[in-house]
Amino acid sequence: MREQLDSLGLCFDWDREVTTCLPDYYRWTQYLFIKLYEAGLAYQKEAVVNWDPVDQTVLADEQVDENGRSWRSGAVVEQKMLKQWFIKTTNYAKPLLDALADLPEWYGVKAMQANWIGECSGCYFDFKLKVNGEETGETLSAYSSSPETVFGAAYLAILPTHRLLYGNSSVRPTLEKAFKPGRDCLTEVTACNLFTGLEVPLVVSHKEAFDGYLDTVIGIPDCSEEDLSIARSLNLSWNTALKEDDNGIQMLINSAEFSGLTRQQGFDSITQKAREQKVGGHLTSPKLRDWLISRQRYWGTPIPVVHCASCGTVAVPEEELPVLLPKLASLTGKGASPLEAAHDWVDCKCPRPFERQLADHWLPVDVYIGGKEHAVMHLYYARFLSHFCKDLGLVSHREPFWKLLVQGLIKGQTFKLADSGQYLKREEIDFTGDKPVACGGGRVEVTFEKMSKSKHNGLDPQDVVQQYGVDTMRLYVLYAAPPEQDILWNVKTDALPGVLRWQSRLWQLVTKLREVRQHGDVPIPSSLKKKELAEARKIWENMNYAIQEVTTHFTEDFLFNTAISRLMGLSNTLNVSALSTKVVQHSLEFEEALAVLVLMTAPMAPHLSSELWAGLCQVNNPLSDLIQRGGDVLQQQWPTVDPKYLDVPEFVELSVMINNKACGTVTIPLQASKDLELVRQLVLESPLGQKLLAGCFIKRAILSPRTALINFLIDE
């Protein structure tokens, strides 16, 4: 992978590479786990997992194919109840939701995060389970959407699919004895609320789900007609917790020291005290789940916990971290699994300690780049850990990332049998007819999907480089779409020809400048006439506009495809066939704009730009200071806008579309370019608008937020 990245001309500081599978990294993963464990945020409970009976390992959801088989062994995956490690991310749901308001817009990802978290209007309370008055040692957390009325609880309800009925719970026999499908079943198990001290019976509900997500809820008759009906049908007793005063305001009663408070006051006070007592009270949504972090055997970071027969779970001391995976080589010929070889795990020297100064220097991360598949969960977990580290005083910043770039996927052309969904290789398809068919017979569906070995739609970058060259491929990927959009890889029908033509034009521009200066003629800018000076002025304006726009696209919005379009526009301005020969030969503006064009192309096409720059530096009698500096193109300073240009009113060329068809452009003030009503008015008053839109009924005008474009939808 590193060889391919280097061969593509991608510049990385490998000294700063982070390799998450190495002990010097996961030592800190284990350190954070221990801190979470000490804070009561890491815990174990049984949960249903995907189990591969052949490899004897747990699988993540994405490792199970659409037919329910393991991605590696091919075995039918089983659902198995196993004890798993969880991180109590729900405790941070409300802070993570609220903190989104302080972050810049993330291309819709903030809304995805907010939707993933959900409305944090309730909380969990912890209960101790009892049978015949004896504590079982098991704790159960139950959700309430009205925590202020928790003193009015009548029962605790679980679903028939709850782990207590299927795992190794000590209350399982008691629950099974009482359970009858299709009914609300009162059991002999009771649950003591660790906040209120009140004991309520455990009920197995007839439902298949609570609010679509929950599996354990507190039944409070004061807040729900359904809860009231269940409590009455089971002949349960409870204390009412609400009463209206003379003004119609609901107040708390029978709620210990919280009696007499309004519902809102009670909500705030009860949840705060539950948090202080560490028995619940953290505001979260009913749809959010704690983070299951257990993974398959010999994969990922070992959990730094010792399971002692007498002491229970004991965290490994920090000074003994990292806990390493055993070396597989040591197991050769022993017939042992990695877990069976635990006694072979080696001691290792502890790496340097955590440095707060370095953490504060690098955080928050300037730009986080990730795929769309990480826009919710991975980002959510990373934000959770950063919030936790801030609470521990390890870092100064609560949020880990400032800017976010969610890049799309490069999707490959995929062929599969329409009947069975089986993926086919290209060599298994007959392309001679109007539509592709399987060589063995059968209709073929053609789609574009995420590249995958199993779908036979992958593409080796080296093959493309071999055919088109490194810079052509780099420019194609950047030009084909904005970074957050997917690219459907089909080099024969898309942007590749345009990229090839543009590279050729760049070469021709540098060649032309060298030719007009090759005889040693000294350029004389003062020899330019009025028309030629006007051409030079236009070049100067377009050059400064390009510098301004491309710099913004590189540093702010990452619209590299638009940056390339702007550079193509500048190269069109420098089109020697449309310019006076004297402008090419004698103007500083042409020479400097060409140098700027090459410099700003360099990050995207470094090899081509290096050759072009070397050619520019050999031009006879150069006028531009940029060229006279010499050195490699990647060692040059980034071009800056001429201050004189900034003093001139800025204009932008606005593309006009009518019913999604391009119709021309209108030049408008840059200041007005983001105001829909103003842009609409300026276009309608322009000659183009008068010609094409006068007398038309405009149903809607859409102003693009990303590019200078307006689309008028009219009745035809």
pLDDT at site 172 = 93
Residue 608 has pLDDT above 90, yes or no: yes
Amino acid letter at 93? A
DSSP structure class, residue 691:
H
pLDDT at site 227 = 96
Domain boundaries, the chain: 119-287, 494-645, 650-714
pLDDT at site 558 = 86
Residue count of the chain: 716
Best CATH choice for the domain 494-645 from the list 3.30.465.10, 3.30.230.10, 3.30.420.40, 1.10.730.10 = 1.10.730.10
Query: Quick one: pLDDT band at residue 12, thresholds 50, 70, 90?
Result: confident
Q: Tens digit of pLDDT for each residue in 622-640?
A: 888 888 887 899 999 999 9
Helix (H) or strand (E) holding 121: none
Q: Tens digit of pLDDT for each residue in 232-264?
A: 999 999 999 999 998 989 999 999 999 999 999
pLDDT at site 123 = 97
Alpha-carbon distance of 259 to 281, in angstroms, equals: 18
Cβ atoms within 10 Å of 340's Cβ, excluding its own: 12
Question: Is 650-714 assigned to CATH 3.40.630.10?
Answer: no
* CATH code for the part of the protein at 119-287: 3.90.740.10
Mean pLDDT of 401-411: 85
Mean pLDDT of 299-315: 82
Phi, psi of 29 (to 5 degrees): -60, -45
Residue 343 has pLDDT above 60, yes or no: no
Residue 397 half-sphere exposure toward CB, CA atoms < 13 A: 18
Using alpha carbons only, what angle is made at residue 260 by residues 254 and 261, rounded to the nearest 5 degrees? 110
pLDDT at site 36 = 96
Contact of 341 with 349, CB cutoff 8 Å: no
Q: Which pair of tokens denotes residue 546?
A: 């390009």
299, 374, 372, 379: which is closest to 339 by C-alpha?
A: 299
Mean pLDDT of 174-196: 95
Q: What is the DSSP string of 297-319?
A: TT-SPPP-EEEETTTEEEEPPGG
